[in-house]
Amino acid sequence: MLNFLKQVGDYAKETAQAAKFIGQGLSVTFDHMKRRPVTVQYPYEKVIPSERYRGRIHFEFDKCIACEVCVRVCPINLPVVDWEFNRETKKKTLNHYSIDFGVCIFCGNCVEYCPTNCLSMTEEYELASYDRHNLNYDNVALGRLPYKVTEDPMVAPMREFAYLPKGAMDPHDLPKGTQRAGRLPKDILAEIEAEEAKKTPANAAAEEKSSS
């Protein structure tokens, strides 16, 4: 009898607990209703990609020395480098270069390891096309300059949350010329450099001399 009563008591306790948890869940959901919608009305508004955004890869044909480092560091050996050995100059001449963005995972290894910095990441991400073969970009397509969201007259650029001024939650209708919270990296860099130059002017001068 006592055992049975204990069972009933435990069951009731579990039920109360389940009800409590559902109540907690409801309060969480309810709390979310008060928050700002994160929606970006895409074709009319676009988020400004951050500085280190890894978008479509840009390629500068003239800088490339056809060393194929990009092919070696690529997880799937994706870039196709078509070169010929020029016997007169004893250098490789690049004929074609292509990356298939239908296969690329945008890891950025090629950009990191390129010895001549001829590869770089852009902030372009709208690569949709009707045929997947159109995603195989050749050196001409890779060489096109990316367009900036902020310069598109059809688009209202939206700043990401981390780039909003202090206290602002909504990227819409920000006053012009507002800066994000904290100092910009280039200001910090300039300050550090100025400080170091002040601290050891002699050393710095010496260093500069030796390096030049």
Q: By the criterion CB under 8 A, which residues form the site for another protein?
A: 15, 22, 25-26, 28-30, 32-33, 35-39
Instruction: Tell me phi and psi for residue 165, to 5 degrees.
Output: -65, 165
| CA-based R_g, the chain, Å | 28
State both tokens at 81: 């480098």
Q: Which is nearer to another protein, 24 or 93 (CB)?
A: 24
Integer Cα distance of 54 and 18 in angstroms? 45
Residue 14 Cβ, how far from another protein at the closest point, in Å? Answer: 10
Closest to 137 measured CA to CA, from 97, 109, 106: 97
Provide, rounded to whole angstroms, the least separation between the CB of residue 81 and another protein.
21
DSSP secondary-structure letter at 71? H
> At which residue do the structure tokens 């280190």 appear?
52
Q: Which is nearer to another protein, 41 or 89 (CB)?
A: 41
Please, what is the minimum distance in Å from the beta carbon of residue 12 to another protein?
10
Considering the complex, state which of residue 22 and residue 192 has its C-beta at the smaller distance from another protein: 22
Which of 26/105 has CB closer to another protein?
A: 26
